Amino acid sequence: MEHLLDVQNLCVAFRGDDHRERTVVDHVSFQVNPGEILCIVGESGCGKSVTSLAIMNLLSRNGHITEGTVLFDGQDLTKLSAKELDKIRGSKMTMIFQDALTSLNPVFTVGKQVMESLRIHLGMAKDESVKRAVELLEKVGLPDPETMMRKYPHQLSGGQRQRVMIAIALSCNPKLLIADEPTTALDVTIQSQIMALTKNLIHELNMSMILITHDLGLVAEMADRVMVMYAGQIVETADVYTLFRSPAHPYTRALLGAVPSIYDEPDRQLVSIRGTVPENYEFLTGCRFADRCDSVCDNCREAAAGKTMYSAGENHSVRCILFSADNTRPNTSGHCTSCKEEVTSHD
């Protein structure tokens, strides 16, 4: 299948106040297929937002792509001019953010903002864009869309504003929607309504989606495939069922071990991950998760550790030396076969 988005070896660096470059996204490669929902998870500061901003070429001035390609619908976005990118952003590829109040312009009515996108990207005449804007507001479940057209963002609730953002994002029938924690600011009931609506619209319009979230419950509901990031790198990718049933990377296991489930036994203990994501992780030698990992062994601190993605099954890859060829089933055997050190079993 031809990928809609094919990101290869993407590296992003930011220049700090000391004028030194810091690589925060390190050789990230992944694909999104037509019609697919890919979820990106990982703790704060792992590079999820920077990856998505780099794809859309929306990095702040002190950040830039230092290596890699971003093939979208057959075009390498890293090679396009600002003008060419403008034609793609907002029409073929759109993004919604966490806080809809700051994403919407406070001095224009909702109607004007939805219509603007239609007029700029689809060249619609005014009358036609009014009609289409009303239809879109109705589609995202806003009551009385005609009245809604005349309202300003501050007159709407958080959930209503996020629905308006979705209407704008979907207005030009994009092929890819990137949503960065779109419902974190909303209460759980509204969150689940909005995500159910988004999923229906994604399928109805045959679009693809990258959803960035901390909420593993949402991942289970939304994702076809999941990509786990840690310290600027992808550490595991798998389809959603495999990831929840057989997580391979100790980091993914730890993330899942930290969330409750309604199927839990009453005495199940939630385990937090000790420590935090390291600062300046690009200077670490070996596996970047080693210091926090329960399965760590000497080999994890060797320079070669953490450099390779290994197969943990069909379409399931993991950045952990316990899955290298000579460590076939270390997590169940309880031993790292290359250094013979005992590792903690999670099974």
Binding residues (CB under 6 A) for ligand ATP: these are 14, 24, 42, 44-50, 60, 62-63
Query: Closest separation between CB of residue 15 and ligand ATP, Å?
Result: 8
Provide the minimum distance between the beta carbon of 134 and Mg ion in the complex, in angstroms, as a whole number. 33
Rounded to whole angstroms, what are the CA distances from 34 to 65, 67, 206, 208?
A: 25, 25, 8, 6
Q: Does 160 bind Mg ion (CB under 5 A)?
A: no
Q: Nearest approach, Cβ of 23 to ligand ATP (angstroms)?
A: 9
**Residue placing its CB nearer to ligand ATP in the complex, 23 or 327:** 23
Choose between 51 and 113: whose C-beta lies nearer to ligand ATP. Answer: 51
The position carrying tokens 């952003």 is 89
Output the six-digit token pair for 142. Answer: 């806003």
- Closest to Mg ion by CB, 49 vs 162, is 49
> Which segments of 267-335 are extended strands (E)?
310-313, 316-318
Q: Give dist(CA 242, CA 249) in Å, integer.
A: 12
User: What DSSP state is assigned to residue 155?
Assistant: G
Nearest residue to Mg ion by CB is 49
CB of 47 to ligand ATP, least distance (A): 4
Q: Which H or E element spans position 230?
A: strand 225-230
101 or 120: CB nearest ligand ATP: 101
- Say which entry of ligand ATP, Mg ion, none residue 178 contacts (CB below 5 to 8 A, set by partner kind): none
Q: Does 49 bind Mg ion (CB under 5 A)?
A: yes
Q: How far is the CB of 49 from Mg ion (least distance, A)?
A: 3
Residue span binding Mg ion (CB under 5 A) among the ranges 19-27, 42-50, 147-155, 319-327: 42-50
Q: For Mg ion, how many residues bind (rule: CB under 5 A)? A: 1
The Cα 189–Cα 145 span in angstroms is 22
User: Closer CB to Mg ion, residue 102 or residue 206?
Assistant: 102
Shortest Cβ 307–Mg ion spacing (Å): 25
CB of 145 closer than 8 Å to CB of 137? yes
Give the residue carrying structure tokens 């689809």.
122
| 191 binds Mg ion per the rule CB under 5 A | no
> Which is closer to ligand ATP, CB of 52 or CB of 160?
52
Strand partners, 65: 12
Residue 249 near residue 319, CB atoms below 8 Å: yes
How many CB atoms neighbour CB 238 within 10 A? 25
Q: Closest separation between CB of residue 128 and ligand ATP, Å?
A: 38
Beta carbons of 85 and 57 less than 8 angstroms apart: yes
Tell me what percent of the chain is helix, strand and coil, each rounded to the nearest 5.
35, 20, 40
Of 60 and 189, which CB lies nearer to ligand ATP in the complex structure?
Answer: 60
Residue carrying structure tokens 């926090």? 292
Contact partner at residue 310 from Mg ion, ligand ATP, none, CB < 5 to 8 Å by partner kind: none
Residues that bind Mg ion (CB under 5 A): 49
